[in-house]
Amino acid sequence: MDVFHVTDQNGNKIMDESVLKYIEQSLGNIHYGRTNRSNGLTALELTGSDRVGLLSEVFAVLADLQCDVADAKVWTHNGRIASLIYVKDCSSGSAIEDSQKINKIELRLRNVLKGDNDIRSAKMSVSMAVMHTERRLHQLMFVDRDYERTPILKLTSDNPLVTVQNWEGRGYSVVNVQCKDRTKLLFDIVCNLTDMEYVVFHATINTSGDRAYLEFYIRHKDGTPISSEPERQRVIQCLKAAVERRASEGVRLELCTEDRQGLLAEVMRTFRENGLNVTRAEISTIGNMATNIFYVTDAIGIPADSKIIESVRQKIGLSNLEVKELPLINHQEAEGEDQAVGIGGAVLLSIGSLLRRNLYHLGLIKSCS
């Protein structure tokens, strides 16, 4: 028996019957094959060292190669970058299948990622497979071992607290995570536990104000708990990284305008020319409209000056590019503001069989037993 207490993103009770119906159908549906916008598109996976202007170079190359970006997500963490970009051919409007063009895309993007000092770790690959974008980004950063790297500059004081202890009498390892609550927090942590090949048997989750408290009872797939101090430290590092990757640093800018070829390349070039670094991005197109979200800082990771932001807005279009959110450092003292609720508002009393069953159908685990 698994009980979820949930709210909408504003912390309010869900009253919309269509939303409730959708949740019921989703939880009761055993067919979890993902039907997302990557169908009919070519997926480009990129990992490497982050630097100011990198995305500007990436999107300039794609525009030059007549690739239309339909959808993309970009995460940065500890000086590393991971991106999943869905493109189609500008002339045909369909997935890119020409092997010569794919090879050219791979070669040029790999050279961009390498830059002057990332010869070994820069990676770029092309995939036609349908996948869960955020699930895949976690995997890319995990393989890239971003959790082992030390950030050059860390502005936030809200560091996640992770502890791991063994419960000898029951054969479990008990993982506790305390951090600021946010959307998709539970998803991020469970994805990384799965990537590390642990099975979640029980869990309790609680939220109080803007804080989240999560406790997981885990074992290896062979039924054994964590067996060494190095392994325990690795779990702590990986789960801290899982929480931090989606944490938004910088000013949130939203671009909503009619889509056109080369739009992203132009926007990113404007950011670069004004010394703005993109720490996270969500790119999407619906019909002929582009709806993009960027989190930007200055070149060294400090929240960008408001005058620079306004200058960029004037160049791109004041009505097209809007400031939607200031970094936490600028309004930490503000109280009483609505907070997006990530875990579900109150308490998740127990996740056992339902969690395992749904993770199985999502492809996150190999067995739901």
Q: How many CB atoms lie within 10 A of CB 321?
A: 21
Determine the pLDDT at residue 327: 61
Handedness of CA 78, 51, 122, 43 (dihedral sign): positive
pTM, 2 dp:
0.81
CA dihedral 274, 276, 282, 284 (to 10 degrees): 10
Q: Dump pLDDT digits (tens) for 32-87.
A: 444 444 568 999 999 999 988 999 999 999 999 999 999 999 999 999 999 999 99
pLDDT at 149 over 60: yes
Q: Dump pLDDT digits (tens) for 306-329.
A: 999 999 999 999 999 999 876 654
Give me the domains of the chain, ranges plus CATH numbers: 36-150+249-324 (3.30.70.260), 161-245 (3.30.70.260)
pLDDT range class, residue 153, cuts 50, 70, 90: low
Decide if 225 contacts 172 (C-beta within 8 A). Answer: yes
Q: Residue 209 region, left (φ>0) first, then alpha (ψ -120 to 50), else beta?
A: left
Q: Of the ranges 117-126, 247-256, 272-281, 328-337, which one carries the lowest mean pLDDT score?
A: 328-337
pLDDT at 116 over 80: no
Q: Dump pLDDT digits (tens) for 244-272.
A: 998 877 899 999 999 998 999 999 999 99
Determine the pLDDT at residue 338: 42
Handedness of CA 282, 255, 106, 49 (dihedral sign): negative
